[in-house]
Chain A
């Protein structure tokens, strides 16, 4: 089964890095244009677009509540936070940075961890788009995308906001597909 197209990963990544509803709505439009015709994909995009909140600050508030300083259990966006050491800048950060450097890039913000879910997804989108070796894709997926299931578990436990619920469904789909 082929992996979802790169723009899907790019969208998921962006949606975890920004809370600008208008920008996200625009990107969904873009996504619709970039994805090859497919009913399931259309439906998914429509559900995401419909789920975007109309109230200006709704996304911001929920994002802060879930990811920045949640008042419930934490759903950190950095892979290291889910590891056994429960700290930022753990082995996942080191590994992500190695991947980025091997590709000649690094995060634009050097004082933040490199293993942010959004960054990892954006990077994977680029990998996919530049025709990377399937073994490398598979390895990156194992090392740096599979953990997103845990993120999705956490977010779904703690949010009622439709957009983030749809986004987690998207994440699960993106992470579950393996190229054989």
Chain B
């Protein structure tokens, strides 16, 4: 499947099992205890008792069409592949943190131990082998899916409650049934 690729997230189906988080850590050998989690599930509450509800959001890197991280990086540690995936070469990173300041989604994170930034790779190595990213492939309910961007871009909205406006970054994610 050729790129570009994107995410589709349906919070109605999410059961907060965090398989996406765990599979990402496991596949990518993301270190623990250094403040780096490529994918994180956060739950937002809204309303007030007893008229309350919650919205879970699983977010990683949105490999934005206008990737501000790449534009902000002074040492060109970010590279966009032909298929649109934005990769960060941590070995080039000098730990200035600009990318984190510009990214509205918290995707690039500072590894406390190495003092370099790291972020989600969309499991480019799995994609190259014809597989899906670990997170999407393991999601038990299909809340988080991944696929060709052309088939996803019209299926939902570009931001979910609390997210910043997507007009600048044009993230490759769509939310279905966002409240």
Task: Give the B-binding residues of A (Cβ under 8 A).
Answer: 83-86, 90-91
Contacts and interface: CB of A to CB of B under 8 A. Distances in A.
Contacts of A85: 29, 31-32
Interface string B1-39: 000000000000000000000000000010111100000
Chain A interface, DSSP helix/strand/loop, else mixed: loop
- B: contact size bracket: under 10
A172 B158 CA distance: 56
B129 interface: no
B17 to A, nearest CB: 21
13 contacts: A83-B31, A84-B31, A84-B32, A84-B33, A84-B34, A84-B113, A85-B29, A85-B31, A85-B32, A86-B32, A86-B33, A90-B29, A91-B29
Closest 4 CB pairs of A and B: A84-B31, A85-B31, A86-B32, A85-B29
A84 B90 CA distance: 15
Interface of B: 29, 31-34, 113
Contacts of A91: 29
Given A84-B32, A86-B32, 4 more contacts: A83-B31, A84-B33, A84-B34, A86-B33
A85 B33 CA distance: 8
Contacts of B29: 85, 90-91
A118 B66 CA distance: 52
